[in-house]
Amino acid sequence: MIDSHCHLDFKDFDSVRDQMVAEAREAGVHTIVNIGVDLETSKRSVALAEKYDMIYATVGVHPHDAKTWNENVEEELMVLAIHEKVKAVGEIGLDFYRDNSPRPAQRKAFYEQLKMATKLKLPVVIHTREAFGETLDIVKEFAPYLTGGVFHCFPGDIDDAYKVFELGFIISVGGVITFRNSRMSRVATEVPLEKIMLETDAPYIAPEPFRGKMNHPAFVVHSGRKLAELKKISYDEVEKITDRTTRKFFKLVETFEG
Ligand code: NI
């Protein structure tokens, strides 16, 4: 099983990082993609990818941090992205729920990073909250030139998911899929399994039965189990298909499957 989106570099993990990686391995998680949210965390993601064979990195500036975007950040991200274990630009997008950065700054950073991804020939990891329509409109312009994209922690309904698929993009689902009657679980039930990646978004949003606790990559198996239940297939089948989708998306080489 692969955790396609987490933030193991965050301070929350400082005293337990090695242990969390070991626990992930023991739980059958053989690959982890660590996601940057600004320049510093992008650097730390690359450092983690250098330290651990099983970890890959993405680099990017999150909409919350869009106010930190400037040409210097762009240049540094471009250099980081050359690293062979950097597999996507992200997470990038729009967040009109928190509005931690002014909306014009969010649009600018999103736009520039979509351009960056086309130059780098890397797929994009998209975060969108309370801004799905505008996010989709912006992405549409770039979709023909991008090598792929994922709407992470998918916030939309079934129709929205098909709009994403029309662009050749996919979605990823995390802990929310395990919550009773969640929209994410309904979407995951209805859409093709081949269009779904699994993620934790750790340290955020732990799945049941750990809701409210700190999330970590080993917990992706709980979302995997829930997906198997929703799809009425075996866990092994879910693992096989979602791993294949994730490897294809990030262009990951085969790793040891423990
Ligand atoms: Ni995230």
Strand order in the sheet with 55-59: 2-6, 31-34, 55-59, 86-95, 124-129, 149-151, 170-173, 196-198
Q: What is the pLDDT along the chain (258 residues), one digit of tens a residue?
A: 999 999 999 999 999 999 999 999 999 999 999 999 999 999 999 999 999 999 999 999 999 999 999 999 999 999 999 999 999 999 999 999 999 999 999 999 999 999 999 999 999 999 999 999 999 999 999 999 999 999 999 999 999 999 999 999 999 999 999 999 999 999 999 999 999 999 999 999 999 999 999 999 999 999 999 999 999 999 999 999 999 999 999 999 765 444
Structural domains of the chain ordered from first start: 2-255 (3.20.20.140)
| 231 CA from centroid of ligand 1 (Å) | 25
**Strand, helix or coil at 150?**
strand
Are 153 and 182 a contacting pair, CB within 8 Å?
A: no
pLDDT in tens, 42-77: 999 999 999 999 999 999 999 999 999 999 999 999
| 100 CA from centroid of ligand 1 (Å) | 15
| 48 CA from centroid of ligand 1 (Å) | 16
| 91 CA from centroid of ligand 1 (Å) | 7
| 199 CA from centroid of ligand 1 (Å) | 9
| 237 CA from centroid of ligand 1 (Å) | 26
Distance in angstroms (rounded) separating the CA atoms of residues 161 and 170? 8
